[in-house]
Amino acid sequence: MSAFPELVEVSDNHPAQPGASPPGAVPAGESPAAPPERTQPPPKVVALRRPGRWISAAVVLLFFAAGARSVITNREFQWPVVRQYFTTSAVLHGLLFTLWLTAVTMVAGFAIGTLLAVLRLSGNPVLSSLSWGYVWIFRSTPLLVQLLFWFNIGALYPRLSIGIPFGPSLFTADTVNLIGPTAAAVIGLALHEAAYAAEIVRGGVLSVDAGQAEAATALGLGRARILRRIVIPQAMRSIIPAAGNLLIGTLKGTSIVSVLAVQDLLYSVQLIYNRNYLIIPLLLVATIWYVVVTSLLTVGQYYVERHFARGAARTLPPTPLHRLRVALRTVVARSRGAVLGGGTR
Amino acid sequence: MTSPMVRVRDLHKSYGAVPVLRGVDLDVGAGEVTCVIGPSGSGKSTLLRCLNHLEKINAGEVEVAGELIGYRRHKGKLHELGPRAITRQRAAIGMVFQNFNLFPHLTVLENIAEAPIAVLRRSRTDAVARARELVRRVGLAGREDDYPRRLSGGQQQRIAIARALAMDPKLMLFDEPTSALDPELVGDVLGVMKDLADGGMTMVVVTHEMGFAREAADTVVFLDEGVVVESGAPDDVLRNPRQARTREFLARVL
Ligand SMILES: Nc1ncnc2c1ncn2[C@@H]1O[C@H](COP(=O)(O)OP(=O)(O)OP(=O)(O)O)[C@@H](O)[C@H]1O
Ligand SMILES: [Mg+2]
C-alpha cells in the first residue's frame, strides 16, 4: 500500500499512524524542502469547552418552542381559515398588484434616482442644487401625505397640458381622467423612492476610490463611459445591500396605497375581512405572503451581491448551497469511513 | 537634442492661493527618459498631472508632440478645449500611478483591452490579442484571466504599465511607480521600465530610485518648491550637483 517501502523502518518512532504517510518519512537529503523528522507526534489540540453556550441556547430554544406551540394551538389564529384564503384569486390578484407596484416603483425610482445622483455629482451648481432640493423635499414629507397630494392633484391643476414652457401647449387633458388612484400610487411611490435611491447611488459612487476615475481619465475614456464601465460596477458593491433594504421596505411600504383604495395585497384582504370579520386570519394571510416574498428577495440579493463582488476579494466565499453540498459529502464520507474502518477513530 | 516630445514653458499652477508650480520649464526629446526627483510636496506629481491635463494650469504652455495640451491658442489667449479633444490628447499619453489603480472588477485582459476598444475603436478580438501580447511582454503570461487583487503589487504595477502601453502612447508618465512596493518587487517593475526605455519610449519618471535614474535616465530634473533647481545628465546632477539645495536633498536620500 505504501509508496515508500523504507517508510516503516524510518518512521518507527510514529507509533499510532499505520497507513498514514508522514512527510518526515522522505529519506533525508533527497528533498531539501522536506520538514525535519520528528521523534514525537505533535500534541493533540482540545477546544475550550463552553457549557454556558449550550445552556443559553437550550433556554432560548425552550422559550421559542413555547411561543411556537401557543401560536399553533391558539384557536383564535384560525389556521384553517388562513389556509382556505391563502390562494384565493382575490388574494393572489392583490399579491400580483403589490409585486407589480413594487417593481415599477423600484425601476422608476432608481432610474430617476440615478439621474438625480449624476446631477448632484455633476459639478454644475444649478443642477446640483436642484437635485439636492428634490431629495430634501421628498425625504422631509411623509409618504402618505405625498400620496394623498397626488391623488388630489386635480384640485390644484384641473387640466394638464404638455407643451413648451411659456410657449404653446401640444396636448391637454383633464387631470382627474389622467391621474386615477393607481397612477397616483405609482407616481407618489416612485418619486418618493427616487429621493432615497439618489442618496444610495450617490453614496455608492462616492465609495469608489477617486484613483479609479483618474486612471480611466488618463486612458482617455469619456465621462459617461467611466461612470458606466468603471465607477458604477464598483459602486454596486455598496449600492446593492442598501438597495435590497429599500426594495424590501418598498414591498411592504406599498401597503400604504390601500388608503387610495388601490387593490394591493393588504387592501384585498381588508375587503375580504370587511365582509366576514375574520380579521386576524386574513391579516396572517397577507403577512405570510409578505414574508415569503421578502425571503425570496433576500436570497436573490445574496447572489446579486456575490456577482458584484467579482475581484473584490481574492476568493469568493462558497455559496450556502455549495457549503451544504460539502457538508453532506463530509458526513457521507465520514459514515462510510466509519463502516469500512470499523471504528479506527 | 532630437525634436522635443515634451515642451513646457513657464508653467504655473496653484491650488487656491497656494502656488505649487512657479514657472517650470521642461524639455524632453523624443525617445528620451527624464527622471524628476525632489522632496515631498515639491510639485512633482502636479507637474506630471499637468502634462496630460489631469490638472488645469494657471499660466504657461504644455506641449506634447508639438500639440498644445488642454488648450487652444486664440488671439494671444489660451482657451480650454472641450472634453472630446482633451480625451483624444490623453489617449496618446500613458500614465502609471503609485498605487496602480487597476480596475478591480475587470480581469487583467479586460483592464488592458478596455481603453483600446472604447477609445481607439479596436475590435474586441484585436484588442484582446494585443493585450495577451502585452501581458507576455511584462512577464506575466498565464495571469490573463486573474483579477488584479490576486496579483502581487509588483505584478499589478506591471499590468498597469501594459494597460498604458495598449494605447500605443507617444509618451509615458510614471508617478513613483515603485514607491508602494516591497523592496524585492521593485526590480521587476524597474526592469520592465528599463526595457521600455531601451525600446525608445519617451518617458517622464517621478522617482526616488536613484539607481534607476542613474542607469536609465538621459536627463535628471531636480524640482524643489515648484521650480526646477537643476537639470542635466544623471552623472552631473546626481554625482556633482552644482546647487546647494540639490546637494542637501541627495545627501538625505542617498
Ligand atoms: N488637490 C490639491 N489641493 C490642494 N493642494 C494640493 C492638491 N494636490 C497637491 N496639493 C499640494 O501641492 C503640493 C505639491 O503636491 P505634489 O503632489 O505635486 O507633491 P509631490 O512632489 O508629488 O510630493 P510627493 O513626493 O510626496 O508625492 C503639496 O504641498 C500638496 O499639499
Ligand atoms: Mg507625488
| Tens-digit pLDDT profile for residues A100-115 | 999 999 999 999 999 9
Distance of residue A299 Cα from the nearest chain B Cα, in angstroms: 23
The CA B60 to ligand 1 mean position distance, Å, reads 19
How far does residue A127's CA lie from ligand 2's centre (Å)?
33
Closest ligand by atom to B38 CA: 1
Is the CB of B54 inside 8 Å of chain A's CB atoms?
Answer: yes
Nearest chain A Cα distance for residue B149, angstroms: 6
Residue A157 CB neighbour total at 10 angstroms: 10
Sequence spans of domains, chain A? 76-308
- A2 Cβ under 8 Å from any chain B Cβ: no
Going by alpha carbons, the residue nearest to atom 19 of ligand 1 is B41
Question: Using a CB-CB distance cutoff of 8 angstroms, which residues of chain A are in contact with residue B147?
Answer: 310-311
Could you tell me if B106 lies within 8 Å of chain A, comparing CB atoms? yes
| Cα(A228)–Cα(A28) distance, integer angstroms | 59
Of B99, B115, B150, the CB nearest to A314: B150
Nearest to B168 by CA among A219, A217, A213: A219
**Could you report the per-residue pLDDT of A207-230, keeping only the tens digit for each?**
999 999 999 999 999 999 999 999
pLDDT digits (tens, 9 = 90+) for A305-332: 888 887 776 666 677 778 788 888 877 8
Strand partners of residue A342: none
Q: Which of B106, B149, B164 has the CB atom closest to A314's CB atom?
A: B149
CA distance A288 to A224: 43
Triad A176, A177, A182: Cα angle to 5°? 85
Distance, first Cα to last Cα, chain A: 20
Which residues of chain A are within 8 Å of residue B161 when distances are taken between CB atoms?
none
Strand partners, B36: B206, B221
Kindly give the number of the ligand 1 atom that is closest to the alpha carbon of B226: 14
CA distance A259 to A249: 18
Specify the pairing of strand B4-15 against strand B18-29.
antiparallel
Closest CA to B111 of B70, B85, B150: B150
The answer to whether A167 contacts chain B (CB < 8 Å) is no
Calpha distance B5→B202 (Å, rounded): 7
The three cell numbers of residue A141 are 414629507
Is there an atom of ligand 1 within 6 Å of B15 CB?
Answer: yes
DSSP H or E segment with residue A104? helix A89-120
Separation between Cα atoms, residue A96 and residue B147, nearest integer Å: 41
The CATH homologous superfamily for domain A76-308 is MetI-like (1.10.3720.10)
Regarding the beta carbon of B207 and ligand 1, being less than 6 Å apart is answered no
Residue B143 at interface with chain A, using a CB cutoff of 8 Å: no
Ligand approaching nearest to the C-alpha of B42: 1
Distance CA A98, CA A77 (A): 24
Which cell numbers in the block locate residue A110?
Answer: 432608481
Residues A213, B203, B49, A209, CA torsion sign? positive
Q: Which of B71, B64, B57, B70 is nearest to B15 (CA)?
A: B57
| Alpha-carbon distances, residue B59 vs B23, B66, B68 (angstroms) | 9, 18, 13
DSSP states of chain B as a string?
Answer: --SEEEEEEEEEEEETTEEEEEEEEEEEETT-EEEEE--TTSSHHHHHHHHTTSS--SEEEEEETTEESSEEEETTEEEEPPHHHHHHHHHTEEEE-TT----TTS-HHHHHHHHHHHTS---HHHHHHHHHHHHHHTT-TT-TTS-GGGS-HHHHHHHHHHHHHTT--SEEEEESTTTTS-HHHHHHHHHHHHHHHHTT-EEEEE-S-HHHHHHH-SEEEEEETTEEEEEE-HIIIIIS-SSHHHHHHHHHH-
Q: What is the CATH number of the domain that holds B103?
A: 3.40.50.300
- Biggest CA–CA distance in chain A, Å, is 103
A307 part of contact set with chain B, CB < 8 Å: no
Q: Which residues pair with B173 in a beta bridge?
A: B95, B204
- As beta bridge partners, residue B79 has B72
Reported ipTM exceeds the 0.85 cut: yes
* Full pLDDT tens readout for chain B, 254 residues: 457 899 999 999 999 999 999 999 999 999 999 999 999 999 999 999 999 999 999 999 999 999 999 999 988 888 999 999 999 999 999 999 999 999 999 999 999 999 999 999 999 999 999 999 999 999 999 999 999 999 999 999 999 999 999 999 999 999 999 999 998 889 999 999 999 999 999 999 999 999 999 999 999 999 999 999 999 999 999 999 999 999 999 999 87
| Model-wide pTM > 0.95 | no
Q: Are B222 and B38 in contact (CB under 8 A)?
A: yes
Interchain proximity B149–A211, CB inside 8 Å: no
Residues in contact with A57: Cβ distance below 8 Å, sequence separation at least 6, in sequence order: none
Contacts of A229 in chain B (CB under 8 A): 114, 118
Decide whether any atom of ligand 1 lies within 6 Å of the B44 Cβ: yes
Q: What 3-state class would DSSP assign to A32?
A: coil
Question: Which H/E stretch holds residue A80?
Answer: helix A79-86
Q: Is residue B1 part of a domain?
A: no
| Cross-chain residue pair A215–B95, CB shorter than 8 Å | yes
Number of domains, chain B: 1
For B148, other C-beta atoms within 10 Å of its C-beta total 21
Residue B235 lies inside a defined structural domain of this protein: yes
The tens digit of pLDDT for each residue in A81-100 reads 889 999 999 999 999 999 99
Which of B20, B175, B249 maximizes ligand 1 atoms within 8 Å of its Cβ, making it the mutation to test the pocket? Answer: B20
pLDDT at site A154? 80
Residues of B in contact with A223 (CB under 8 A): 83
Which 3 state secondary structure label does DSSP give A171?
A: strand
Is the minimum CB–CB distance between B45 and chain A shorter than 8 Å?
no
Q: What is the CA radius of gyration of chain A?
A: 32
Burial of A181 (0-12, 13-18, 19+ CB in 10 A): middle
B58 contact A CB<8A:
no
A316 vs A22 pLDDT, higher one: A316
Residues 6+ apart with CB under 8 A from A284: A77, A82
- Give residue-wise pLDDT tens across range B56-106: 999 999 999 999 999 999 888 889 999 999 999 999 999 999 999 999 999
Arithmetic mean of pLDDT over chain A: 84
Q: How far is the CA of B176 from the centre of ligand 1 (A)?
A: 13
- For residue B229, what are the domain limits? 6-251
Residue B39: CB atoms within 10 Å: 16
- Smallest Cβ–Cβ distance between A220 and the set B87, B103, B160 belongs to B87
Q: State whether residue A127 is helix, strand or coil.
A: helix
The pLDDT of residue A33 is: 63
Q: Specify whether the CB–CB gap between B125 and B155 falls below 8 A.
A: no
Q: Edge-to-edge strand order for the sheet containing B93-96?
A: B93-96, B171-175, B202-206, B33-37, B219-224, B227-232
Interface A-B, measured as beta-carbon pairs within 8 A, has a size of 76
Cell (9 digits) for A309: 463582488
